[in-house]
Structure 1
Amino acid sequence: GALALRRWCRGQAARLLPPYLLQLAAGADFCLSGVSVRDQRGRWGSCSRGGGKAAAPPREVGGLRGLLDRLTGRKGQNGGDDAGHADARAVTGRISLNWRALLLPLPLLEHLCWHELCHLRQMNHSPAFRAELARFSPHWQDMEKALSRSWRELPWWALPVSAPDAP
């Protein structure tokens, strides 16, 4: 029951979340060398700099991107003017998303992705990071609070367990 549901969700997350994140990144000139989906015990995602060549953006993203576009009436997003960020765009990095992010409402998932992408440019939670995040997620303060609540409101079967289950 619960183990099968966790495995299914992890598989769906591995299939849907990387192309969704790569699509956002490409639309706002962020360089990613890779995206992984993991079973992180206490965080929604993580970011590390480096990692080599940037990953190619997906040509077509259905799934979450298509659903988000239909819900919001958008045809993609460029995140605004990137003037003054030419050097920052050249920084590549890897982002890991927690498979449980698949369970988030789409606006929170989008915010989580912007949060991790902005860490490619600012590897901290400084005022500069918050200013960068505000460019892509204008209501970031409310979204951060909602992400914290969402972790506490995960269904019982999605809660982290002491022994990791098989991928």
Structure 2
Amino acid sequence: MSTSTQEALQVVWKHSTRAKRLSLRVAPHEHKLIVTLPLTCTDQQALTFVQTHQGWIEERLKKLEKTPSFSVGNTVFITGKPYLIVHAPEQKGGAWLENDCLMVSGDPAFINRRVADFLRNHATSILRKEVEAVALSTGLRPTRIDIRDTSSRWGSCSASGRIMFSWRIIMAPDLVRHYLIAHELSHLRHMNHGPLFWQQVARITPYKKQAERWLRQTGPLLLHAR
């Protein structure tokens, strides 16, 4: 199969030796629909699969239209609080918080990037302090804390004890960040999602239900914000 278009959405057909079934994924930044196919799947089966999931695709695109944009006049949430993005072309300093605004200096062409850079740096500072505070109170100490830009997960914990968080959780409310930190730190003791793991999470944070609800409803939009 070759790449085609469907209502201005580029469709990319991707054969995979690891795939056991057909699957769909919308890549919003590239405006593509990624269709992953097992090697045994025929072209007609793949096309039928996409056609029968037209409703899902349209619903997904509608949700992505609400994705936050780091551009002038829009609002960005930082630790759950809204800040209006304001362009200050004559000033210097990149981006900074001023009252209820996120001020951005310089060339308008670089505003989105400067907002993202500010959020990433702010996240690195805030999240490290928050992780260290929870680690101190629980005795669960990671070997390393990394802040990265991911579009599919909020955090992870390796067998070596290294914890990673997406810088995008700096846009989430305090209780959500606390839950995500508790979740990853709990993996230092239990590298699974069994009963003992969830008991450990519950000992650290009372926000599991509220945080998971927020992540289901709002989280996907923040993962793709730019």
Aligned to 1:37: 147
TM-score (structure 1 length as normaliser)? 0.64
- Give the structure-2-normalised TM-score: 0.48
Look up the equivalent residue of 2:177 and give its one-letter code. L
For residues 107 and 101 of structure 1, the distance between their equivalents in structure 2, rounded to whole angstroms, comes to 11
Highest Rg: 1 or 2?
A: 2
Query: Where do residues 120-139 of structure 1 align in structure 2 (5 Å cutoff)?
Result: 120-139=188-207
Instruction: In structure 2, give the amino acid aligned to 1:103.
Output: M
Q: Deviations over 1:56-97 (max 9, x none)?
A: xxxxxxxxxxxxxxxxxxxxxxxxxxxxxxxxxxxxx11111
Q: Tell me the distance in 1 between the aligned counterparts of 2:165 and 2:207.
A: 21
- Which of the numbers 143, 159, 165 marks the counterpart of 2:224? 159
**Structure whose residues are more often strand by fraction:** 2
Q: For 2:136, which of 23, 26, 32 is the aligned residue?
A: 26
For 1:119 and 1:110, how far apart are their aligned partners in 2? Answer: 15
Q: CA offset at residue 148 of structure 1?
A: 2.5
1:139 and 1:101 map into 2 onto residues whose CA distance is 15
Letter in 1 for 2:203: R
Q: Corresponding residue for 1:101? A: 169
Kindly indicate which of the two structures has a greater share of residues assigned to helix: 1
Look up the SS of the partner of 1:129 in the other structure. helix
SS of the residue 1:46 aligns to: strand
Which residue of the partner structure matches residue 178 of structure 2? Answer: 110
Contact 1:25-1:31 at 8 Å conserved across structures: yes
What CA distance in whole angstroms lies between the structure 1 residues aligned with 2:217 and 2:132? 26
Deviates more, 1:124-133 or 1:110-119: 124-133
SS state at 2:189 partner: coil
In structure 1, runs of 5+ residues without a counterpart are 51-92, 162-167
Q: CA deviation at 1:100?
A: 0.3
SS in 1 for 2:125: helix
Aligned 8 A contact 2:175 2:207 in 1? no
**SS in structure 2 at match of 1:111:** helix
Tell me, yes or no, if structure 1 residue 144 matches structure 2 residue 208.
Answer: no
**8 Å Cα contact 2:176/2:207 also seen in 1:** no
Displacement of 1:11: 1.1
Task: Give deviations 1:10-66, integer Å, cap 9, x for gaps.
Answer: 11111221121011111111121110100112111111132xxxxxxxxxxxxxxxx
**Percentage of pairs with the same residue:** 31
Q: How many equivalent residue pairs?
A: 116
Q: Distance in 2 between matches of 1:120 and 1:46?
A: 11
Identify the match of residue 4 of structure 1 among 101, 108, 114: 114
Question: Secondary structure of the residue that 2:163 maps to in structure 1?
Answer: strand
Q: Residue 160 of structure 1: CA displacement?
A: 6.0
Change (3 A) 1:145 1:124: farther
Uncovered stretches (5+) of structure 2, i.e. residues with no partner: 1-110
